[in-house]
Amino acid sequence: MSDKKPLSSVNDFVVRFANVNGSGSASANEMFARAILRHGVPVSPRNIFPSNIQGLPTWYEVRVTEDGHLGARGGVDMMVAMNPQTWDKDVAGIEPGGYLFYDSTKPMPSTKFRDDITVIGVPLTAITNSTYTDPRQRQLFKNIIYLGALSALLDMDPKLIEQLIGEQYKGKEKLLSSNVHALHLGRDWALQNLKCPLGLRIKKSDKVGDRIFIEGNSAAALGAVYGGATVCAWYPITPSSSVAEAFTAHCKKYRHDAETGKAKYAIVQGEDELASIGIVIGASWNGARAFTATSGPGISLMTEFIGLSYFAEIPAVIMNIQRAGPSTGMPTRTQQCDIIACAYASHGDTKHVLLFPEDPAEAFEFAAAAFDLAERLQTTIFLMLDLDIGMNHRLCRPLKWDDAKQYDRGKVMTTEMLEEGRDFGRYLDVDGDGIPYRTYPGTHPTKGSYFTRGTSRDRYARYSEEGSVYADNMQRLVRKFETAQDLVPRPLQANAERPTKYGVIYFGSTSPAMDEAIGLLETRGHQLDRLRIRAFPFHSSVASFLAEHDFVYVVEQNRDAQLRQLIVNENGIDPVRLVPIVHYDGTPITARFIAKAIGDHQDHLKVTPLRKAVS
Amino acid sequence: MTYIAKPKFHHPGLKKNELGYTHRDYEGKISTLCAGCGHDSITASIIEACYELSIEPHRVAKISGIGCSSKTPDYFLGNSHGFNTVHGRMPSVLTGANLANRDLVYLGVSGDGDSASIGFGQFAHSIRRGVNMTYIVENNGVYGLTKGQFSATADRGSKSKKGVTNTDNAIDLVAMALQLGATFVARSFSGDKSQLVPLIAAAIGHKGASFIDVISPCIAFNNHAGSTKSFDYVREHNDAVNRLDVLVGRDPIAVDYAPGTVQVVEQHDGSKIALRKIDADYDPHDRLGAQTFLARHAAKGQIVTGLLYVDPDAEDLHAHLDTVETPLNTLEADTLCPGSAALDKFNASLR
């Protein structure tokens, strides 16, 4: 039937599940990914879901990657087509030689298939209907049955899946045994009726190590717990809601007083994003560590307050889980599209600190660090995640914490310091770093009080519209931003084996795809030095990197090459030397895309010099 | 203003309160509002109430939005931290501040533009949540700082200084506060200090969301014939339901009540409010009754003042969230951070 040899690969392929949203497939699919991990084989799963609760198409993609390439790969080697709505597109998307797994209960016309793929029919509905009578059970167990069939087809160890089911339904014996039963229903049917295993196989390995499997939003929320956040105010918005939900869950676990049971935190679901950031600013003004989590539309609403935070110098932490804009955009698709909106948020001359974690482990670290930075710098710190990091399980190094670490509460003048007669000027730079001292409300009966305002004022917080007083303050804010350069996480550089005049700059969720692309480019003969930017303002090493290379590619996931714009603007360099590589269709960037875009440009650059040609 | 210095000297024989503070210790900078502004009278009443309550001035956080009214926190309690936030957003900033440190007194000062228009949502939601605060709206029915545009509390049919008639319906913030679940609701008039001072004092003593709407005529833009927020109009249409005195374990703030019409309400902090009822039927514990009473009098063109509703056993947001008694802003890594051992366990659960 096939005019193309079936794909054959061990521990290196992509399986995509096409489901209907709300059909309960998510947990079975996730179990599939986890089961492969238990084989010691790295996976990189991604949810591709609609802005919908029930009925619309949803996909779950699992990249099985012994080599540990955690970026999206592109292409599908095996499609588990469970959604008639998307059948045609799903079948068309399979790589030549790939596999199609489908529910064969109802016969399909041959025109619905392809000649160059292997078709595997399992009568899932027939099996479920003959076993279960309850419609909800039929729906849920159908998912476990296909998981069982896949385990036989891909040569997976059923014991490892049983173990996962055991952990998931610990203490719920009835559910546990019925799930195991369903698993074997599917597995046995496949073993008896199909040629197992296929060319695509899972083989036990040891490439997972001590790594953990976690969503970026949960990791960032835990970073807030470790970083000492006590106030969280938020407004539901995809893809950030799970940050606040995870923070709530983590706090329930870690933040209740052992004796009284009372909460050492306060979480408020605001009426909108304006209230959320207002609560954060009020709490931070009063000396608590506070944060909000939002996405693009929320950032737009918060900008007036962000300007207040900048100008009145009030700490705030905003986690921005970016999604495709502009406007409502594509709420469930990923992008890195709020770089400019956050870097220069609010009217007037403003600049803000941005942190760009590459994965959940860094999201945890940077989230905790954001509170130190916010209080040290007395301004807003943006933690820039995106949907790809935030809402997908990602394999990453274990989270680490140093118990000796104390929080950096920044320059706070205490009752004792005021008693000693220290000169307190709320906006007075005493040591040249641009950062003034602040006092918490209620500190001292007669000293240290001041009036906080978004209007211009002098070094002692007295209202003033004097031009020189205003300019003096604005210059100090520039000095403060320069101080920030050396406090934020530095860029990480990795050089090519041979010296090269080409470099590439990237950040955030592009990281795994970029690392993989470097390998692909090397096989094409292209050598590139890499610089992963981890924060704005840019450290001086960014300027050095630009100076050391003739051409630098800036790889990012937005249309307008926003990071490139920021680099050009902040470093005053010739834009021609910065080549934008942009991917912005809402899907995560892939190594294939990057390698092709950079490779093509490199090939194009390698024209024979004119003098050589004519001589 | 940086160029206006307020003289610091005062009479050595000035009366001192329980904590040894004089009246002057509760004052702030010189007002930059128009001479005769109703808001300055409210400022004076706030100073009086805090002095009488013997509150340590620095234990008050005064938070406002934007507008004439929102400027006033600079003019009282000079040793308190003040925060002039952004337009209409005082309630959220106050909510956050309150969450960070439950031990301070929170005074929210706003105006009718700030609370009934741009900040209507935040006004509503801070009250819904039961934030422990005294929320004062200095209500003049007009945008003073931008020179006389109607605000959302301007009555339908009232005339602006330029002669324009307002065709939009008015928002009654007192009616809203009652509906939204405020546990202390009052209205007063800036020109009636004897009514306003005890109301502010009682509101500060109240544990929960206290709301006071203070009609405060704008002498520059809303004190003409045809205005329903002018001094003359309010004096003619004022219908007080009660006068009250606040007893804080010593002398009542005003002692002049006729026995037989007095109802004493004890609040959470131990302070007592003595209500001298003018309307014998009025029951300040009946939310529904208060709403009806207000609506009935509004229909007759009367402005009801006094303490309209109080729930002496109110709970605040901290009670709802069951937060620790220690202010959150004093907690450090030793109590907030779960540590590396917990993290190792967490990691192990994700493999």
Which A-chain residues 53-92 have CB contacts (< 8 A) with chain B? Answer: none
A452 vs B contacts (CB less than 8 Å): 81-84
**How many residues are given for chain A?**
615
pLDDT at B156 over 80: yes
Q: How far is CA B158 from CA A488, B152, B166, in A?
A: 57, 12, 6
pLDDT at A396 over 80: yes
Average pLDDT over residues A268-287: 98
**What CA–CA distance (Å, rounded) separates A285 from A47?**
39
**What CA–CA distance (Å, rounded) separates B141 from B112?**
6
Average pLDDT over residues A564-593: 95
The chain-wide mean pLDDT, for chain A, equals: 95
pLDDT at B69 over 80: yes
pLDDT at A261 over 90: yes
Instruction: Name the least confident of A204-208, A289-293, B252-256.
Output: B252-256
Better pLDDT: B6 or A87:
A87
* pLDDT at residue B265, rounded to an integer: 76
Average pLDDT over residues A369-394: 98
Picking from A270, A402, A464, the nearest residue to B2 by CB comes out as A464
> Are B58 and A442 within 8 A, CB to CB?
yes
Q: Does A270 touch chain B (CB under 8 A)?
A: yes
* pLDDT at residue B247, rounded to an integer: 66
> Are B324 and A228 within 8 A, CB to CB?
no
SS3 A210: coil
Q: Does A214 touch chain B (CB under 8 A)?
A: yes
Picking from B58, B93, B346, the nearest residue to A278 by CB comes out as B93
E-strand stretches of A3-73 = 9-10, 12-20, 43-48, 57-65
Residue of B nearest to A292 (CA): B96
What's the half-sphere exposure (Cβ side, CA atoms, 13 Å) at B113?
20
**What CA–CA distance (Å, rounded) separates A125 from A106?**
9
Binning pLDDT at 50, 70 and 90, where does residue A234 land? very high
* pLDDT at residue A49, rounded to an integer: 86
A287 vs B contacts (CB less than 8 Å): 100-101, 329-330
Tokens standing for A6? 């079936």
Instruction: Name the least confident of A449-458, B111-120, B234-243.
Output: B234-243
pLDDT at A210 over 50: yes
For chain B, percent of residues with pLDDT exceeding 90 = 70
* pLDDT at residue B312, rounded to an integer: 92
Q: Could you report the per-residue pLDDT of A121-131, keeping only the tens digit for each?
A: 999 999 999 99
Residue A435 is which amino acid? I
SS3 B81: strand
Which A-chain residues 498-557 have CB contacts (< 8 A) with chain B? Answer: none
B8 in a structural domain: no
* pLDDT at residue A53, rounded to an integer: 80
* pLDDT at residue A381, rounded to an integer: 98
Residue of B nearest to A451 (CA): B82
B9 in a structural domain: no
* pLDDT at residue B259, rounded to an integer: 42
Host domain of residue B298? 23-349
Q: Are B306 and B243 in contact (CB under 8 A)?
A: yes
> Are A287 and B63 within 8 A, CB to CB?
no
* pLDDT at residue A3, rounded to an integer: 62
Binning pLDDT at 50, 70 and 90, where does residue B240 land? confident
> Are B85 and A278 within 8 A, CB to CB?
yes
Residue of A nearest to B336 (CA): A228
Closest to A100 (Cα-Cα) out of A122, A124, A120: A120
Distance to chain A for B180, nearest Cα, Å: 14
Distance to chain A for B339, nearest Cα, Å: 6
DSSP per-residue codes, A524-570: TT---EEEE--EESPPHHHHHHHHH-SEEEEEESSTT-HHHHHHHHH
* pLDDT at residue B261, rounded to an integer: 62
Q: Could you report the per-residue pLDDT of A486-518, keeping only the tens digit for each?
A: 999 999 999 999 999 999 999 999 999 999 999
List phi, psi (to 5°) of A72. -65, 145
List phi, psi (to 5°) of B92. -70, -40
pLDDT at B45 over 90: yes
DSSP per-residue codes, B167-220: -SPPP-HHHHHHHHT-SEEEEEETT-HHHHHHHHHHHHHSSSEEEEEEE--BTT
Q: Are A100 and A118 in contact (CB under 8 A)?
A: yes
Mutation target among B58, B72, B320, B325 for the A interface, most CBs of A within 10 A: B58
Residue of A nearest to B3 (CA): A464
Q: Does B74 touch chain A (CB under 8 A)?
A: yes
Helix H or strand E segment including A207: none
Picking from A283, A452, A455, the nearest residue to B82 by CB comes out as A452
List phi, psi (to 5°) of A10. -110, 125
* pLDDT at residue A301, rounded to an integer: 98
Binning pLDDT at 50, 70 and 90, where does residue B253 land? very low
pLDDT at A611 over 70: no
pLDDT at A115 over 90: yes
Q: Does A264 touch chain B (CB under 8 A)?
A: yes
Q: Are A363 and A357 in contact (CB under 8 A)?
A: yes
B4 in a structural domain: no
Which A-chain residues 441-480 have CB contacts (< 8 A) with chain B? Answer: 441-446, 449-455, 458, 462-464, 466
- Contacts of B89 by beta carbon, 8 Å cutoff, 6+ apart: A274, A275, A278, A305, B65, B119, B122
B3 in a structural domain: no
B313 in a structural domain: yes
What is the interface pTM, i.e. ipTM, of the complex? 0.95
B225 in a structural domain: yes
Instruction: State pTM to two decimals.
Output: 0.96
CB pairs under 8 A between A and B: 233
* pLDDT at residue A24, rounded to an integer: 84
For chain A, percent of residues with pLDDT exceeding 90 = 93
Instruction: Name the least confident of A20-29, A196-205, A317-326, B108-117.
Output: A20-29
Query: How many folded domains does chain B comprise?
Result: 1
SS3 A504: strand
Tokens standing for A138? 């039929």
Picking from A211, A257, A288, the nearest residue to B329 by CB comes out as A288
Average pLDDT over residues A159-179: 94
Closest to B246 (Cα-Cα) out of B297, B210, B282: B210
In this structure, the dihedral spanned by the alpha carbons of residues B343, B344, B345 and B349, taken in order and rounded to 10 degrees, is 100
> Are A466 and B2 within 8 A, CB to CB?
yes
> Are A446 and B332 within 8 A, CB to CB?
no
Q: Which domains does chain A have, with CATH numbers?
A: 9-201 (3.40.920.10), 214-396 (3.40.50.970), 415-487 (no CATH), 492-606 (3.40.50.920)
B2 in a structural domain: no
Q: Could you report the per-residue pLDDT of B273-294, keeping only the tens digit for each?
A: 777 777 777 889 999 999 999 9
Residue B249 belongs to domain with CATH number: 3.40.50.970
Q: Does A265 touch chain B (CB under 8 A)?
A: yes
Closest to B99 (Cα-Cα) out of A311, A276, A273: A276
* pLDDT at residue B260, rounded to an integer: 45
B296 in a structural domain: yes
